[in-house]
Amino acid sequence: MTDRPTPIPCADPLRAIPESAGERGFAIDAALETLRDEERRLERMGFEWPLARCRQQRRYWEFVGALHAMTEREATDRWER
């Protein structure tokens, strides 16, 4: 048994990174959507600690999404030159 909470599988930061940019974008979107749903569920149930952990995971995936968007823009800019 570990102290680490069991992550939502599609939002697990330890899972393998998809090969293609499209697959990475899809994985990030899926993680964020799942975490938003879970956040709403936890809010309704009034679970403060799990809700805080869920929000922390969502912020992490929003950061990953922003990095992914930046690298995709840079790659697109290089091809358009």
Closest CA to 32 of 63, 5, 2, 4: 63
Return the domain boundaries, the chain: 21-80
Taking residue 2's Cβ as centre, other Cβ atoms within 10 Å add up to 5
d(C-alpha 9, C-alpha 42), whole Å: 17
pTM to 2 decimals?
Answer: 0.82
Tens of pLDDT along the chain (81 residues) come to 445 565 688 888 888 889 999 999 999 999 999 999 999 999 999 999 999 999 999 999 999 999 999 988 877 766 665
